[in-house]
Amino acid sequence: TRIEKAGYKHFMMKEIAEQPTVVDRVLDAYLDADGSIAMTLPDVDFTKVSRISIVACGTAYYAGLVAKYWFEHYARLPVDIDVASEFRYREPPLPEGTLAVYVSQSGETADTLAALRYTDGKASRIVSLVNSAESSIARESDVAVPIHAGVEVSVASTKAFTAMLTTFAVMVLKAASERGVMDADTLAGHIQSLRQLPGLMSHAISIDGELARTARKVAQSRDVLFLGRGQMFPLALEGALKLKEISYLHAEGYASGELKHGPIALVDKNTPTVVLAPHDGLFEKTVSNMQEVMARGGRVLLISDAKAIAATGGGVWRTITMPDAPELVQPILYAIPAQLLAYHAAIAKGTDVDQPRNLAKSVTVE
Ligand code: G6P
């Protein structure tokens, strides 16, 4: 069947808007109505896994990077993560008990597939998160876990990213409960948080007009910095990647705390710094990072919740107020303003949003 834009100007916007439905579908696939986990991973015993090795490319790699924070924090499992093109030639040793996890929307990315073949026979089990169950990566894995995003047409990935994250979130909770490091009440709380996500995402999508106005300003600059801390660090990387891919603005994502070790030299009044920082235990540290930027004449665009915005003490160039969200789901939710910012910056620049220059949807060559 032909996929249509359904009234949207671009597939990218259609796919951004689909995300609440996609996340609902993922949750229905992997959670039972009574709130228990329905995800089955045949012959994967998380009590015997000593370490996870995640490998992917592009946006899928950033989804894996969020999952690293989650597996380590919630399931107390150490995770190594690599981009596939580095992993495959480095020939890394895989200690006993390593679970290999591959993430790929298309399931055909050449580097990811080559990395997977390298671990065949070395990892205790190979699990893949894929959008296409018919793909090479799905076929060559021991367990293929569909992310249920539906066909993604836009070259810049959006709904596949949040579908990967939602699938990972359930997998992390499964690992945590199997390993006995999360009690039943905490688990139930996290599952409830996931169930709130589609509603929160719809709310975030409704901020579109405000993001569009801000994006038009951002589009006038040459360089843009993205900052995030902890589980929001990968979102800073993804936000910068989206902007580069479709608006051709130079953007860099950095861990907030790393700003002082180099990128702060780029800050001037023409370089906006986008800070993705919901209120959390480390928010005060982020505020001081923002102050370092503002003290150098930099313009800060803070994307956060009302409580955090009220705590910044002013001086911020622009703010985008996001709904309050439980910690686990924050990286999934904050993908939306990052995507919309890039989308509207690209519109302002008049680029070909769905078919950006030099990029391919699926890279099946080295
Ligand atoms: C290409 C696409 C990216 C994508 C990456 C990995 O570079 O342009 O959007 O993130 O490949 O693709 P995969 O299908 O393996 O997720």
Q: Calculate the CA dihedral of residues 91, 95, 98, 100 and round it to 10 degrees.
A: 0
* Per-residue pLDDT tens digits for 69-117: 999 999 999 999 999 999 999 989 999 999 999 999 999 999 999 999 9
Complex-level ipTM: 0.96
* Nearest Cα residue to atom 5 of ligand 1: 58
**Ligand 1 centroid vs 363 CA: distance in angstroms?**
7
| Those residues with Cβ within 8 angstroms of residue 278's Cβ, 6 or more apart along the chain or in another chain | 232, 304, 305, 308, 322, 325, 327, 330, 334
Residue 223, strand partner residues: 250
pLDDT score recorded for residue 3: 82
Mean pLDDT, rounded, of the chain: 95
Model confidence at 1: pLDDT above 70 = no
Model confidence at 337: pLDDT above 70 = yes
- Residue 155 beta carbon below 6 angstroms from any ligand 1 atom: yes
Asked if 225 contacts 252 with a C-beta cutoff of 8 angstroms, the reply is yes
pTM over the 0.95 mark: yes
Look at 279 and 62; give whichever has higher pLDDT. 62
The upper half-sphere exposure of residue 6, i.e. CA atoms within 13 Å in the direction of its Cβ, equals 11
- Residue 132 beta carbon below 6 angstroms from any ligand 1 atom: no
* Per-residue pLDDT tens digits for 189-232: 999 999 999 999 999 999 999 999 999 999 999 999 999 999 99
**Ligand 1 centroid vs 88 CA: distance in angstroms?**
17
By percentage, how much of the chain surpasses pLDDT 90?
87
Residue 318, strand partner residues: 301
- Find tokens 């303003």 and name the residue: 337
Helix, strand, or coil (residue 272)? strand
* Per-residue pLDDT tens digits for 178-189: 999 999 999 999
Model confidence at 311: pLDDT above 90 = no
- Residue 359 beta carbon below 6 angstroms from any ligand 1 atom: yes
Q: Concatenated DSSP letters for 4-38?
A: --TT-SSHHHHHHHTHHHHHHHHHHHHB-TTS-B-
- Find tokens 């910056």 and name the residue: 345
Model confidence at 176: pLDDT above 80 = yes
pLDDT score recorded for residue 313: 78
**Ligand 1 centroid vs 127 CA: distance in angstroms?**
18
Residues 238-251: what's their mean pLDDT?
96
* 349 catalytic residue (yes or no): no
- Cα torsion angle, 94, 104, 166, 343, sign: positive
